[in-house]
Amino acid sequence: MTYDARPRLILIDSSDATREVLATRLRAQGYQVEAVGDAAMGAELSLSAPPNVVVADLWMPSISGVQICRLLRSEPATADVPVILRGERDDPKSRFWAERAGAAAYVLKGRMGDLVRALIRATSSPRESDGFFMQLGGGSLGIRDRIAQHLDAALFESVIASEVRALGSAGSFERLFDLLSQLLAQLCPYRWLAVATSAPTRFAIHRHPKLGDISVAEARQALAVASGIEPLVIEDEDALESADPGSPVVVPIAFALSMVGTVAFSPAKSAAADAAVLAPILARELGGPLRMTALIEESQRQASVDSLTGLLNRRAFAATIDLELARSARHGYPLSLMLLDVDHFKSINDRWGHATGDQVLSAIGTMLRSTMRRTDVASRWGGEEFVLAMPSTPLAGGRVAAERVRRDIAALTILDHEGKRIAVTASIGLVELHRGESLAQLVDRADKAMYGAKVGGRNRVVVDDDPGKSTTGDSAPPADESSARSVALPSSEDETPPTPDSLPTLSH
């Protein structure tokens, strides 16, 4: 038997006339040519005895060149067999489909020179065959079934990718993760699903209620999340109860060439194949939604947060407290609110400049954020005024908190341009929510109490637990911070307008 060293070529062309003419010319160029008019037969020949190159029409009856190209790319025996697709038109759409199908080249019909040059490039690196050929039974029916399977797989991937991309409209990371868990639980049974991001730093996990801390420990290890980062936990029975750890799937998530996070899940052992399909889709598609929700949340944060103090602005505070007022009215929970004003703030601006005044406001904002409870809500109310609402806090507890805030403000270290400390104090009005009271009424009472602290000497807390009476604390905290002595509110005529000379002195 004589060995033929010529490159072997399979030509698929549904037109008898052009097929024979082209086959003759290609043989003259030194190729072994097997020419067939049926696309399924050409695919079967390619899979049973992989050639050096396949030439096929881009669009053919029944089975297209795009489908053949995808089929050969996905089969181990023909994954590296170059496919050259031919078309009637030199248009972007045809070239797009050829490129996406994985074709080695796209050439126009009738351009023999272009086809020969494409063949030379495609066959310049001979295939290293290991002698393994995939034998297919069933003739054309087997090929059509395989193409249908690949089309189904492509459709499945497209649908899942679309569902993941749609998570970009979630609006928040928490909702995005919740929706992701609902989607993935339908596609691949898992013990837990976790996502970690670095900008901002977040860690979320979906688990079965009975797994508890073991799932968090596994996810934290898989994602390399520091122990100090608390997870957002979603628990329901969509996740598996099994305690068998198995091997987690860990996928880095990129967006625009930057890493935005990592997703990991612990699939059931029976779902390993499903996990292998889903993992690259998540890696490819989840970056956009994560980035989108981060931008939305940052935009919302900037719209609701005072840039100087880092606290909520007035509008955001009002929206948040309206919910707390409704909750308090529904369940009868107490709520205390303090309104504070920086003493002699105008004179601080006049004497040391607005930059120093901003430094004072920023320091107070930082102090409030560091000392308030997670359930408390603080805001820059306007100018040098701050408001702090304390849900589930009766007046006695509010008094303790207000005295602590007053004391912490007085202890702030604000330095002037010479490095000398500027003494800063605040007057605070404290009230407790009355049944049926609106936010405007509550703040109005706190404002009157704060005014009482101003005219009473400043650097003090005045407690107003009823529109008709008030109590005040001394400028120094009482021995028992839960108590305060009663005084009458002075009239406005008793207050002397502050002057630069009346400012607190500098401490050396």
Question: Strands 83-87, 232-235: parallel, antiparallel or unpaired by DSSP?
Answer: unpaired
CA distance 472 to 255: 57
Half-sphere exposure of 85 (CA within 13 A, CB side): 27
**Overall size of the chain counted in residues:** 508
Q: Which residues are catalytic?
A: 384
Q: Which residues contact 188 (CB under 8 A, 6 or more apart)?
A: 265, 267, 268, 271, 274, 275, 278
Ordered DSSP codes for 57-70: ESS-SSS-HHHHHH
Note the Cα 221 to chain centre separation in Å. 20
Dihedral sign for Cα atoms in the order 253, 259, 264, 269 = positive
User: How many DSSP H helices and E strands does the chain contain?
Assistant: 15, 19
- Using DSSP's 3-state secondary structure scheme, residue 97 falls into helix
How many C-beta atoms lie closer than 10 Å to residue 90's C-beta?
11
**Residue 89 is encoded by which pair of tokens?**
């038109």
Residue pair 398/336 in contact (Cβ under 8 Å)? The answer is: yes
Residue 223 belongs to what H/E stretch?
helix 213-223
CA distance 252 to 229: 19
Q: Is 246 left (phi over 0), alpha (psi -120 to 50) or beta?
A: left
CA distance 144 to 43: 10
**What is the rounded radius of gyration, in angstroms, for the C-alpha atoms of the chain?**
37
Helices of type H across 138-194? 139-165, 173-187
Residue 316 belongs to what H/E stretch?
helix 314-331
CA distance 398 to 63: 77
- Using DSSP's 3-state secondary structure scheme, residue 102 falls into coil
